[in-house]
Amino acid sequence: MEECCSTKPKKEHNHHHEDHDHEHSHDVENQSVFRLFLPAIISFVLLLIGISFDNFIENTWFNGWFRLFWYLIAYVPVGLPVLKEAFESIKNGDVFSEFFLMGIATVGAFAIGEYPEGVAVMLFYSVGEVFQAMAVTKAKTNIKLLLDQRPDEVTVLENGQPKVAKAKSVNIGEIIQLKSGEKLGLDGELLSEKASFNTSALTGESKPDTKVKGETVLAGMINLNSMSQVKVTAAYKDSKLSKILELVQNATSQKAPTELFIRKFAKIYTPIVVFLAIGITFLPYFFVEDYQFKSWLYRALVFLVISCPCALVISIPLGYFGGIGAGSRNGILIKGSNFLDILANIQNVVMDKTGTMTEGVFKVQEVHFNDGFNKDEILKWVNVLESKTTHPIATAIHDFAGEIDHSIELKNVEEIAGQGLKAEINGKELLVGNLKLIKQFNISYDVNAENIVYTLIAIAYDKKFVGYLTIADSIKEDAKQTINKLKSLNVKTTMLSGDKTSVVDFVAKTLGIENAYGDLLPEDKVNKVKELKAKNQSVAFVGDGINDAPVVALSDVGIAMGGLGSDATIETADIVIQDDKPMKIPMAINIGKQTRKIVWQNIILAFAVKGIVIALGAGGLATMWEAVFADVGVALLAILNAVRIQRMKF
């Protein structure tokens, strides 16, 4: 059974591809509301006139062939497109579609002389289809307007002179001039000393973000004050915004289990309905004394209309699409509706410390070197060695020690996972890392790490312990609120970090995190997550999505913080939080829970109403009018319920 109004991107010139998306939703964006409803308006007016001639205006001529012809004209504007869709579906191997159900139900009504009811069923079905198409289009448009903020044209500086050019044609390395209030069309590096930007299109955050010379600025950001210059660093198609837009538009290809079940169910359910309708028509002949073919055929036709599973195959994908849209509006990219279902059932959130619950901006607090070592010289060596890595600690040391002395030659530089760095200088070994690294090389030291709350960076040279630096990182302002919110959602929290245990315990205690483990290597983090999974508990891992790739792969859902900083993050994680705010973690879980609630409300509503009216219809107590409500009415109610999520505050 196909989706009445698919939310998947259309393939050009191929309306009936794998999922058989039908034409009711095609080009909805490009048509006026009046034009969309025009066939239904024509049909409705002709139907009202026909009913008036039948019931309220006395006449002798509105009967026979003329009456049939009148109702046929009323039927054609709304019925012909549906019959055409039924024919196309059959041609593509999908015999039992909702178009087929509606076609045989209304043609059958005409066959037994119930012309007004045949027209009415198709009229209301078509009106429902237009509303459905409009709802899907609105959901897609909201996301597209939110994300596709790139201007088509930009101002490029050529020999110092501004020139307007198509954004797609601008090359890497060219310089863009950005006026106050203008949107940036391409990713780049800020050349001006300072500029403030509105980043809400990317992060959902309305607070201005101030950038300084050399910092990265992204397509979709709006320049708020003075004129700025930006050097282009990525082609139009490779911008972060392009990747994000593509990700969201393709999100519906990852189907939730509920959605997949409904699709499979519909494929089995629809042919059963058709054969039951045939049974309702002919089987009573063998059991009923005063069997009347016309009466039982009418009941079967009512049964067919009621049984159309439109409400399910439309409202469920629309509910999930609305959840993905709600996430996008709040700066949370959800890569598929299946992840919304997983989020709704998450029992544990396991998080990294640095950059997730803390700012990830380290500062050197203390320097303790033993006597007999040249402090300035050692710091210069450490600064050069740390420049070989991208870890935030390296930035802190660089900020403290100053410019890197490129005349210093290091040999055999090696990064030891979870421990630190090793190199040779002046033919002697230099070690910079945690105390595990110092122990591994059998170097004795006289430091009691348990008494130091800050992160400790130990240094050894020529097999001797030099001393240590202490580095501190500040906790994010909404981190504690995040943990409280997760607890209110009955989600357990665990912190895993390669940082030393005393630091991790201090952060965990401050925030109220239930379980915390420090001094972990990447494989230790994997083992901790395996322990949770062994208890049959679902796990979401929150980190940077790159360094913790094994843990992300093992967890039920991987959530990456600060997705704007890394293409790899967008590709690796299942969910990307575009700003660095931890509060988006419980928000994402809440969006998942609300989406699931709405989807199940729609499933229960559809089955309950259809079940009642099917029973009445089979017993001859329901007419086509009740059937119309059970089909189109329930579908519209389900759609209205599904679009609610797009207006919710989280």
Does the pLDDT value for residue 377 go beyond 70? Answer: yes
Q: Report the pLDDT averaged over residues 53-59.
A: 86
Q: Report the pLDDT averaged over residues 498-508.
A: 85
Q: Report the pLDDT averaged over residues 548-557.
A: 80
Under the banding of pLDDT at 50, 70 and 90, the label for residue 18 is: very low
Query: Which of 22-36, 164-178, 441-455 is predicted most confidently?
Result: 164-178
**pLDDT at residue 496, as a whole number:** 92
Compute the chain's Rg from CA coordinates.
Answer: 33
**pLDDT at residue 630, as a whole number:** 76
Supply angle C-alpha 638, 144, 226, rounded to 5. Answer: 140
Strands 161-166 and 209-212, how do they pair?
unpaired
What residues pair up with 294 in beta bridges, in sequence order?
Answer: none
What percentage of residues in the chain have a pLDDT greater than 90?
Answer: 27
**pLDDT at residue 619, as a whole number:** 72
Positive or negative, the CA dihedral 428, 433, 439, 441 is: negative
Q: Give the residue, 7 or 636, on which the prediction is more confident.
A: 636
**352 part of the active site:** yes
Give the lowest-confidence range in 83-97, 196-210, 335-349: 196-210
CATH 3.40.50.1000 residue ranges of the chain are 331-358+475-593
**pLDDT at residue 595, as a whole number:** 93
Residue 481 in 3-state DSSP?
Answer: helix
Under the banding of pLDDT at 50, 70 and 90, the label for residue 564 is: low
Does the pLDDT value for residue 424 go beyond 50? Answer: yes
**pLDDT at residue 251, as a whole number:** 58
Q: Report the pLDDT averaged over residues 287-298.
A: 86
Domain 171-235 has CATH 2.70.150.10: yes
Quickly list DSSP for 496-541. Answer: E-SS-HHHHHHHHHHHT-SEEE-S--HHHHHHHHHHHHHTT--EEE
Cα(472)–Cα(321) distance, rounded to whole angstroms?
Answer: 42
Q: Report the pLDDT averaged over residues 10-26.
A: 39
Q: Report the pLDDT averaged over residues 334-355.
A: 90
Does the pLDDT value for residue 324 go beyond 60? Answer: yes
Give the lowest-confidence range in 23-27, 38-42, 216-220, 586-590: 23-27
CA 205 vs CA 215, 217, 331, 587: distances in Å: 19, 15, 8, 14
Q: Report the pLDDT averaged over residues 281-310.
A: 84
Q: Report the pLDDT averaged over residues 529-554.
A: 82
Q: Report the pLDDT averaged over residues 411-426.
A: 89
Q: What pLDDT digit, counting tens, does each position of 184-236 carry?
A: 888 899 999 888 888 766 665 656 788 889 988 888 888 887 789 999 998 88
**pLDDT at residue 483, as a whole number:** 96
Q: What pLDDT digit, counting tens, does each position of 227-272 carry?
A: 899 999 988 877 766 766 666 656 556 666 776 777 677 778 778 8
Does the pLDDT value for residue 474 go beyond 50? Answer: yes
**pLDDT at residue 568, as a whole number:** 60
**pLDDT at residue 207, as a whole number:** 66
The distance from CA 482 to its chain's CA centroid, rounded to whole angstroms, is: 21
**pLDDT at residue 337, as a whole number:** 84
Q: Report the pLDDT averaged over residues 284-296.
A: 87
Q: Report the pLDDT averaged over residues 95-99.
A: 78
Does the pLDDT value for residue 148 go beyond 70? Answer: no
Give the lowest-confidence range in 137-141, 250-254, 389-393, 607-611: 250-254
Q: Give the residue, 154 or 621, on which the prediction is more confident.
A: 154
CATH 2.70.150.10 residue ranges of the chain are 171-235
Q: Report the pLDDT averaged over residues 37-45.
A: 92
Cα(560)–Cα(576) distance, rounded to whole angstroms?
Answer: 5
**pLDDT at residue 2, as a whole number:** 36
Does the pLDDT value for residue 304 go beyond 50? Answer: yes
**pLDDT at residue 5, as a whole number:** 33
**pLDDT at residue 60, as a whole number:** 82
Does the pLDDT value for residue 25 go beyond 60? Answer: no
CATH 3.40.1110.10 residue ranges of the chain are 360-474
Positive or negative, the CA dihedral 50, 54, 60, 64 is: positive
Q: What is the dihedral of CA 107, 108, 114, 118, to 10 degrees?
A: -40
**pLDDT at residue 31, as a whole number:** 63
Q: Report the pLDDT averaged over residues 297-322.
A: 78
**pLDDT at residue 26, as a whole number:** 44
Q: Report the pLDDT averaged over residues 146-169.
A: 80
The distance from CA 161 to its chain's CA centroid, rounded to whole angstroms, is: 42
Quickly list DSSP for 538-599. Answer: -EEEEE-SSTTHHHHHHSSEEEEE-GGG-HHHHHH-SEEESS--TTHHHHHHHHHHHHHHHH
Considering the entire predicted model, what is its pTM?
A: 0.69
What percentage of residues in the chain have a pLDDT greater than 70?
Answer: 85
Strands (DSSP E) contained in 434-491 are 455-461, 464-475
Write down the catalytic residue from 94, 352, 519, 574.
352
Could you please state the CATH topology (level 3) that the domain comprising 360-474 is classified under: Calcium-transporting ATPase, cytoplasmic domain N (3.40.1110)
Cα(217)–Cα(60) distance, rounded to whole angstroms?
Answer: 78
Domain formed by 331-358+475-593, architecture: 3-Layer(aba) Sandwich (3.40)
Q: Give the residue, 588 or 548, on which the prediction is more confident.
A: 588
